[in-house]
Amino acid sequence: MTAQLNPRGDVAVLVPAAGAGVRLGPGGPKALRRIGGEPLLVHAVRRIAAAPSVHTIVVAAPPGDDDAVRELLGPVAELTVVAGGATRQESVAAALAAVPAGPEIVLVHDAARALTPTTLVESVAEAVRGGEDAVIPVLPVVDTVKEVSAAGVVLGTVDRSALRVVQTPQGFRRAVLAAAHAAAADPLTDDAGLVEKQGVRVACVPGSEYALKITRPFDLALAEHLLSAVPLAGHH
Ligand SMILES: Nc1ccn([C@@H]2O[C@H](COP(=O)(O)OP(=O)(O)OP(=O)(O)O)[C@@H](O)[C@H]2O)c(=O)n1
Ligand SMILES: C[C@](O)(CO)[C@H](O)COP(=O)(O)O
């Protein structure tokens, strides 16, 4: 059944889904690869659409696949589909340009983080609503980290106590994200990076193991397993 979004919600979620998935290997655009019989993009959008604060969803589709993505997501949730760009940053900018007047909180969420819990969408939005200009979900680094030379020799052991791995959704006051994208020069890997360049404070909230980014074949297998072991994996 098509999820109806909250007309009184204050959050727009941009879903960059236009990546090729080179690290995942052959099999078509990553967002359209399947776990539990459904494309990653469907899993991701279903979880976003279940978040009570969400007013608008804009998906940046793989180049040439925008009509197919519209058809695919029609039964999942009310949303807008735009054509993605050559970089993640361009895809986010295209989606941002399609957000209607209204929502003043904008979240950017990778389709590749298909099992992200709905509760994480809400906790990031809540932190922005509470006064932060920019919010990212993070997890501690669980392994020892070494700096290694190009020749494969250890140069030193990094102090990991202040390091965090960063997930999505990343949340922003709308004007802050728009200004950061307007000022963007070289592409960065995440939106918080653009905002940092503007001197804006970026706050952290606890991330979720379920929000793993499906990047390599092992991640796809892990996500498939999580979904079959716990059918609602990452839903809450
Ligand atoms: N031109 C691009 C590149 C990436 N993305 C999206 O950004 C998210 C995070 O990117 P990543 O997981 O690195 O995806 P890919 O770029 O597809 O991966 P790879 O680098 O292995 O090709 C994904 O949902 C991906 O679809 C996008 O919308 N447009
Ligand atoms: C946005 C992101 O998912 C946060 O971890 C990440 O930076 C995307 O980077 P990638 O190099 O495109 O995977």
pLDDT at 1 exceeding the cut of 80: no
Provide the residue ranges of all domains of the chain, joining segments of one domain with +.
Answer: 11-229
Q: Which of 30, 190, 204 to mutate to test the pocket of ligand 2 (most atoms within 8 A of CB)?
A: 190
Q: In which band, very low, low, confident or very high, does the pLDDT at 38 lie, cut at 50, 70 and 90?
A: very high
Percent of the chain with pLDDT over 70: 99
ipTM above 0.95, yes or no: yes
CA distances (Å), 79 to each of 4, 45, 133, 193, in order?
Answer: 9, 9, 25, 27
Instruction: Count the Cβ atoms, other than its own, within 10 Å of residue 8.
Output: 9
Say whether the peptide bond before residue 75 is cis (omega within 30 degrees of 0): no
**pLDDT of 98-127, one tens digit each?**
999 999 999 999 999 999 999 999 999 999
Using only the alpha carbons of the chain, give its radius of gyration: 17
Phi and psi at residue 209, to the nearest 5°: -60, -30
**pLDDT of 201-222, one tens digit each?**
999 999 999 999 999 999 999 9
Which of residues 222 and 230 earns the better pLDDT score?
222
pLDDT at 233 exceeding the cut of 80: no
Q: List, chain by chain if needed, residues with CB within 6 Å of any ligand 2 atom.
A: 88, 110, 166-168, 189-190, 213
Which CATH class for the 11-229 domain?
alpha beta
Q: In which band, very low, low, confident or very high, does the pLDDT at 200 lie, cut at 50, 70 and 90?
A: very high
Residues 92 and 177: their CA atoms lie apart, in Å, by 10
